[in-house]
Amino acid sequence: MENITFKEWELVAHSLGIQLLNAKQSTRKKDKELPIEFYRNYYNYSNSDNKLPKKFKELLDNELIQLFDTRGLYCFCITDKGIKLFRDYFHKNVTLKYKKPSASKQRYQDFVYCDYGFGYDEYLGIVLPKLEYAKYPDSGMRYISKKYDSVKGEYRKTQKEAKKSYKEALYAFKRRVKSSINTL
């Protein structure tokens, strides 16, 4: 199929509802993937002298398209062989040039594309601690775990110090749990 030009592959792609040039130039993952089933499979062409256009002859000779006539219009549909060869062409010339994002970037892209309605931490299943301010303004703040009731940091003047105190309390709690499991 080396004798089929890019313009002819664009006709095949257009018939299947794919924008080949856009897919080739795009940097987005969703443009680099073909659907399992194409939503359309036809191409209408009409001209005044009712001659078969030259650009379709190569595709017809290679049995990539099938010609039929509807109300005086030339209509082409892509054959099963044509769809298979187009998928191969697309994979070699479009998809292989796409660099797949890392697992963490892919996970974040999945979060962005889904309509979850919560924060990224909740999407991942992470339970963040709650920041609690003291009754008196000069007493400071502390972090309290939403997951473990007994884990509470001490009141500190800055958020950084409060976070450090919370982490120490959390690690101490996890050590106690681990040691109690080991003694069983």
165/87 Cα distance (integer angstroms): 57
Whether 72 has a pLDDT exceeding 80, the answer reads no
Window from 47-51, 132-136, 142-146 with minimum mean pLDDT: 47-51
The pair of three-digit structure tokens given for residue 51, joined into one six-digit string: 């001659």
* Whole-angstrom distance, CA of residue 14 vs CA of residue 34: 13
Quote the mean pLDDT of the chain. 81
Confidence of residue 141 (pLDDT cuts 50, 70, 90): very high
Give the pLDDT of residue 109: 75
147-183 per-position pLDDT tens digit:
888 899 999 999 999 999 999 999 999 999 888 888 7
Domain boundaries, the chain: 6-100, 127-182
Examine the pLDDT at 90 and tell me if it is beyond 60.
yes
Select the CATH number that applies to the domain covering 6-100 from these four: 1.10.10, 3.90.1150, 3.30.43, 2.160.20.
1.10.10
Average pLDDT of span 82-109 = 78
Contact present, 140 and 154 (Cβ < 8 Å): no
Contacts with 115 (C-beta within 8 Å, 6 or more apart), sequence order? none
| pTM of the complete model | 0.49
**102 vs 158, higher pLDDT:** 158
Q: Answer yes or no: is pLDDT of 6 > 70.
A: yes
- pLDDT score of 96 more than 80: no
Residue type, 133: Y
